[in-house]
Amino acid sequence: MSDRSHLRLVVLGVLIISLVGTLMARLFYLQLVVGDEYAAQAASNTTREVITPAVRGLILDQRGRPLVANRTSLVVSVDRNALTREPDEGLAVLDRLAEALGVSRESIEQKLMPCGSEGAPPLPVCWDGSPYQPVPIAKDVATETALSIMERRTDFPGVTAQLAAVREYPGPFEANVAHILGYVGPVTQEQLDTQGDSTDPARLRARDLVGRNGLEAQYDAQLRGIPGITTLAVDQVGRVTGTVSESEAVAGNYVVTNIDAHLQSVVETALSDAVERAREDGELADTGAAVVVDVRTGAVLAMASYPTYDPQLWVGGISTRDYDRLLRDRALSSTVTQGTYAPGSTFKAVTTVAAAREGYDLGGTYPCPADYTVGSQRFRNFESSGFGPITLQRALEVSCNTVFYRIADEMWLKGGGLYAPQGAPDPIAETASAFRMGEATGIDLPNEASGLISGRNEKLRVWEQRRDQWCSDAKEGYSQLREENPKLAEYYTALAKENCLDGFRWRNGDAINASIGQGDTSITPLQLAMTYAAIANGGTVYQPQVAKAVLSSRGEVVQEFSPTVRAEVPAPEGTFEFLRTAMTGVTAEGTGRFPFEGFPLDEIPIASKTGSAQVFSDNSTTAWFASFAPADDPQYAVVMMVTRGGTGAVTAGPGVRAIYDAIFGVVDGVVDPTRSVLIGGAPSRTLPIVRPDGTPITPEAPR
Amino acid sequence: MSVSESASTRRFIGARQEGRQSYWRRLDWLLLGSALLLSVGSSVFVWSASRSDLAGDDPQYFLNRHLVNIVIGLVLAFVVSRLDYRLLRAYSPVIYGLAIIGILLVYTPLGTTIAGARAWVQVPGGFTLQPSEFAKVAIVLILAVILAEKRDAEAEPRDRDVALALGLAAIPIGLVLLQNDTGTVLIMCTIVITMVAVSGARTRWVAGLLVGGATAAVVAWQLGLVKDYQIARLTSFVNPDEAASTAAYNANQARIAIGGGGMWGRGLFQGPQTQGNFVPVNESDFIFTVIGEEAGFVGAAITIILLSIVLWRGMRIAMGAGELYGRLVAAGVVAWLAFQTFENIGMNLGIMPITGVPLPFVSYGGTSMFASWIALGLLENVRLHREQQP
């Protein structure tokens, strides 16, 4: 055999060695150098999650009547990513879609715009859900319309019509309940980002709807439920080869509220009637609030805010037009929990407690002149009438300001007067704080306002905040204004100088204003209701509570909310008894008498206090009527308020009367508990029953 | 092989009796052991890859058939290793002729198309055979006869012999090419070039074949002789992330599987890519993917090492062959196994185009398994023949 043959065999051997070496090197690289990357790819490759959305829990009233339920709706959604792939950015598709749905193309475009992008409408019209998620643009689409869209797939790329569970508002007794219930909207990218890489099965996912306001937001975690997740092993063509894990969807829990739908309906009507009444009297009466709480527990039995809106508007996304209207009407926020107002004379009850704590004789006699002068300032009675020396009860009954002015002035002086050191006593503000006024009540609704109580500390705080501005204004001397009106500029400069130098000083004029709920004091109607509830129950300040319990969708009790005591108001023996008596007198023979003409006060004594708080900015008055009943065994506190509404007795009083009529079953002056809107004449003491299939048993649809 | 009372058969029996005492001792046990370890060891991976393929049916169906194939392969190797050279040389034209007929059978109604290649023949009993596998054996044998003809001691084959050899090889290669079995064509060409080279033929032949082969590939490409899917298969490894084509998908999934195996692998039956059937024909062409995923770098490297031992022992047998015929047979077999191994593992690792060639001794598939063991039998035969020489 030739050497050439041998040589060529050697070459073959070398070639084979290099081939094997190549394979080994490649194997080493794939498995040990970049292996982790491939391992991750393999993991994502082989399983697919199929998600069955959980049915959102219902919200029930205290008798089990659904306030929020679910129904299915044909929802048309648009995938923005598919649109951008169209030659004209999808304009033709949107035109066709607008025609099919009978809306304008602009209205669809507005809903498609991501919030914050140029020209986007404000929340919640704009899209703030996940950018990869189809945007719902129409709900309750007619079946024929949906079918015609789905049949013409090529005309409607990226458009889908699907059956989706949407919120439904059965509205028992025509109750609206909008501000309590809130609404749901698509989960925001921000919410998804904040939960990070959570593996919790209950975590939010891109297509989820979450509560955006009211109870829907407050109890979102309970209502949402846990989606069912089936993890399937799939092969390369997407064929299912097995089930890796499976979990069933757990329907969201039910929230049982303390709200009684029937009473709620009465309260809503009473409030809108009060507004109507004020308007007939020529008042603007733009907003109003009404609330009924159980003084023994803090349970919120009814709560209405005027103006309101139809919660149905939010289902499937709200339109710009609707949203603008709601904003213009200021219908979105709750006047009960989110608006703060000067309480006016209703605050005198607090001043009375302060006086008692400072040792004033509640049974004593006090002069009630037509006006009270402090230095150069004269503080007048409401209608500038004097009553001579009167008892404190009478002072409350006729709402004599000057009696409380004098008391406030005296307490101010005793506390150190103008030059009081820091931390000097401030009985009125301290008592208001003891009732937890000027701070959020802790009600289980989001975005509650806190308000504030004017007093020494508050004034110091404001001064520290604004001192620099005042001082620079004083230095600058309002030079611009000076050219037109030197006199006014001079006055402003002097004011700024005074504020700069000793704007922190709590003057007797301040104390006098504070004693009748004016000045800087502003509180929510709910705070006033809780204060009156505390006066009624002997000084216990409860946390108002809308939710009564959480039930599972099969009816088991998950959680029951027991009353939460926020504070006990310390007051001398007999203080609250005195107030109960005195305020019963207000209704019987004082300023609160007018609305309760013909009401069987001897059977059901009502303790009340009217208020007509002056709003200096627009020279209007806020009409208040605060009350509790029965005065001898208090159960309910009812507060109604109408802004720019005239006097409390005339505007708000009849509304409160209507509410008590309904609660106690008073018809034509006769008490008939069977005619009460509350079944059995009282709030339910038990929880409603939910059948294992999820349907609640209601008084109207019994077992 | 039926036993008849022909002269050659008697010689064959005589040779067997001669070597009786020493046959087992003189075998290359390292070669046999490595191949056996590959076949038997790989059966668990065939099992792992195939047990879900027949949902509801016997999960060990493929495993059992694989084991039967190995036993048949061992018997074939035993018989082939003991065949007399003269008998082999005499029957080479017959084997060659049978191979051509086998390939032609593919075009009859018995033929079956699998994975784009019309390369299988349906045989009774539910089996399919791939005649092109046997054609490799036939090419090795017929080329060895012609290139070593008459001049075992001479310096080089005559040009006429080389031309004849090429002509004979061109027939099965052309037929297989018509079946779109690109992988087998490449292996056959490698066998031919190697054997021509080792025969000591003039350098211009070798150079001419190398250049001619490359040119043919380019021309075929340019003229569109190669069908689109063949190009897709051949080029998908260049652009693996462009998973548009099935071929690219396969290459990508294979690399995900192997890459995910890491050092020790996912464990038998635990590979997500394997168990999810993401990699196609993973009991056969892509069996290396299963080993890489479930047994990791360690298992895959052992597989390559065992195959390397087979090639190394084959090289040694070729080097030590006493005559050119034996050396040519051994060199042809080694070139065949080496290139087929490289092509198969290379496509599993994404560095070679995807052509449906099985991994010798390892892949599931009767014909391939038989051919591998016949190849091994040829190597042992050459070794035994040298030992018999005085």
- Could you say which DSSP state residue B27 is in? S
Chain B residue numbers with beta carbons less than 8 Å from the beta carbon of A30 are 255, 258-259, 292, 349-350
On the question of pLDDT at B386 being above 80, the answer is no
The string of pLDDT tens digits covering residues A183-217 is 988 887 788 888 877 667 777 876 678 898 999 99
Asked if A599 and A609 touch (Cβ cutoff 8 Å), the reply is no
With CB atoms and an 8 Å threshold, state whether A45 touches B272: yes
Q: Of the given ranges (A77-86, A496-505, A556-565, B10-19), which has the lowest mean pLDDT? A: B10-19
> Tokens at residue A183, please?
């609404």
State residue B2's pLDDT score: 43
Cβ neighbors of A219 (< 8 A, separation 6 or more) are A211, A255, A444, A547, A550
Chain A residue numbers with beta carbons less than 8 Å from the beta carbon of B297 are 27-28, 31-32
Chain A residue numbers with beta carbons less than 8 Å from the beta carbon of B338 are 15-16, 19
Rounded to an integer, the average pLDDT of B128-151 is: 87
Instruction: Looking at the complex, report in whole angstroms how far the Cα of residue B341 sits from the nearest Cα belonging to chain A.
Output: 9
State residue B6's pLDDT score: 47
- What's the Cα-to-Cα distance from A472 to each of A47, A480, A482, A486, A494, rounded to whole Å? 68, 14, 16, 18, 12
On the question of pLDDT at A262 being above 80, the answer is yes
- Could you say which DSSP state residue A420 is in? P
The phi, psi pair for A60, rounded to 5°, reads -110, 155
Percent of chain A with pLDDT strictly greater than 70? 94
Query: What whole-number distance in Å separates Cα of residue A643 and Cα of residue A286?
Result: 6
Cβ neighbors of B187 (< 8 A, separation 6 or more) are B136, B336, B339, B340, B343, B357
Phi-psi region of A66 (alpha: psi -120 to 50; beta: other; left: phi over 0): beta
> Tokens at residue A277, please?
């009444």
On the question of pLDDT at B132 being above 70, the answer is yes
On the question of pLDDT at B7 being above 60, the answer is no
pLDDT tier for residue B181 given thresholds of 50, 70 and 90 = confident
Asked if A125 and A110 touch (Cβ cutoff 8 Å), the reply is yes
Chain B residue numbers with beta carbons less than 8 Å from the beta carbon of A234 are 276
CB contact B106 to A (< 8 Å) = no
With CB atoms and an 8 Å threshold, state whether A9 touches B345: no
Q: What is the DSSP string of B79-103?
A: HHHHS-HHHHHHHHHHHHHHHHHHH
CB contact B59 to A (< 8 Å) = no
Residue to mutate among A3, A7, A8, with most B CBs inside 10 A, is: A8
Distance of CA A426 to the CA centre of its chain: 32
Instruction: Looking at the complex, report in whole angstroms how far the Cα of residue B16 sits from the nearest Cα belonging to chain A.
Output: 27
Chain A residue numbers with beta carbons less than 8 Å from the beta carbon of B257 are 38, 42
With CB atoms and an 8 Å threshold, state whether A235 touches B304: no
The string of pLDDT tens digits covering residues A271-294 is 999 999 999 999 999 999 999 999
Residue A478: Cβ within 10 Å count = 19
State residue A48's pLDDT score: 64
The string of pLDDT tens digits covering residues A349-387 is 999 999 999 999 999 999 999 989 888 888 888 666 788
CB contact B267 to A (< 8 Å) = no
**Amino acid present at B156:** E
Task: Please provide the size of chain A in residues.
Answer: 703
Query: What whole-number distance in Å separates Cα of residue B66 and Cα of residue B58?
Result: 14
State residue B245's pLDDT score: 44
Query: What whole-number distance in Å separates Cα of residue B282 and Cα of residue B250?
Result: 10
Beta strands in A169-259 (DSSP E): 184-186, 209-211, 228-234, 240-247, 254-257
Highest-scoring range by mean pLDDT, A254-263, A304-313, B173-182: A254-263
State residue B242's pLDDT score: 36
State residue B56's pLDDT score: 46
**Amino acid present at A394:** R
- β-sheet bridge partners, residue A47: A233
Beta strands in A212-270 (DSSP E): 228-234, 240-247, 254-257
pTM, rounded to two decimals: 0.63
Cβ neighbors of B15 (< 8 A, separation 6 or more) are B82, B84, B388
The string of pLDDT tens digits covering residues B190-242 is 999 999 999 888 888 999 999 988 887 777 666 545 555 555 555 544 444 33
The string of pLDDT tens digits covering residues A116-172 is 778 777 777 788 766 666 788 888 888 888 888 877 777 888 888 877 778 899 999
Chain B residue numbers with beta carbons less than 8 Å from the beta carbon of A12 are 194, 197-198, 315, 331, 334-335
Chain B residue numbers with beta carbons less than 8 Å from the beta carbon of A1 are 152-153, 200, 323-324, 327
Chain B residue numbers with beta carbons less than 8 Å from the beta carbon of A39 are 259-260, 262
With CB atoms and an 8 Å threshold, state whether A11 touches B197: yes
Q: What is the mean pLDDT of chain A?
A: 89
Q: At what angle do helices A348-357 and A525-537 cross, to 10 degrees?
A: 50
From B116, B143, B120, select the one nearest B131 (Cα to Cα): B120
Q: Of the given ranges (A17-26, A125-134, B80-89), which has the lowest mean pLDDT? A: A125-134
* Residue of B200, B334, B349 lying closest to A2 (CB–CB): B200
State residue A127's pLDDT score: 80
Residue numbers of B between 18 and 57 with CB closer than 8 Å to A: 52
> Tokens at residue B52, please?
């879900």
Chain A residue numbers with beta carbons less than 8 Å from the beta carbon of B261 are 31, 35
The phi, psi pair for A35, rounded to 5°, reads -60, -40
Instruction: Looking at the complex, report in whole angstroms how far the Cα of residue A564 sits from the nearest Cα belonging to chain B.
Output: 54
Query: What whole-number distance in Å separates Cα of residue B319 and Cα of residue B331?
Result: 9
State residue B25's pLDDT score: 84
Cβ neighbors of A348 (< 8 A, separation 6 or more) are A396, A399, A404, A515, A516, A517, A609
With CB atoms and an 8 Å threshold, state whether B311 touches A27: no
Q: What is the mean pLDDT of chain B?
A: 81
Residue numbers of B between 231 and 250 with CB closer than 8 Å to A: 249
Residue to mutate among A12, A239, A240, with most B CBs inside 10 A, is: A12
Query: What whole-number distance in Å separates Cα of residue A8 and Cα of residue B193?
Result: 11
Question: What burial class does residue A591 get, using C-beta atoms within 10 Å of its C-beta: 0-12 exposed, 13-18 middle, 19+ buried?
Answer: buried
HEC string of B120-181?
A: EEEECCCEEECHHHHHHHHHHHHHHHHHCCCCCCCCCCCHHHHHHHHHHHHHHHHHHHHCCC
Query: What whole-number distance in Å separates Cα of residue A402 and Cα of residue B251?
Result: 94
Alpha helices in chain B (DSSP H): 7-18, 23-26, 29-50, 61-82, 85-105, 131-147, 159-178, 182-198, 203-223, 228-235, 246-261, 272-275, 287-320, 324-348, 366-388
The string of pLDDT tens digits covering residues A425-476 is 999 999 999 999 999 999 999 999 999 999 998 898 889 998 999 999 888 8
With CB atoms and an 8 Å threshold, state whether B273 touches A45: yes
pLDDT tier for residue A532 given thresholds of 50, 70 and 90 = very high
- In angstroms and rounded to an integer, the radius of gyration of the C-alpha atoms of chain B is 21
On the question of pLDDT at A495 being above 50, the answer is yes
The string of pLDDT tens digits covering residues A74-111 is 888 888 777 877 778 788 888 888 988 888 888 888 88
Instruction: Looking at the complex, report in whole angstroms how far the Cα of residue A40 sits from the nearest Cα belonging to chain B.
Output: 7
- What's the Cα-to-Cα distance from B122 to each of A109, A604, B178, rounded to whole Å? 63, 102, 18
From A519, A361, A360, A340, select the one nearest A427 (Cα to Cα): A360
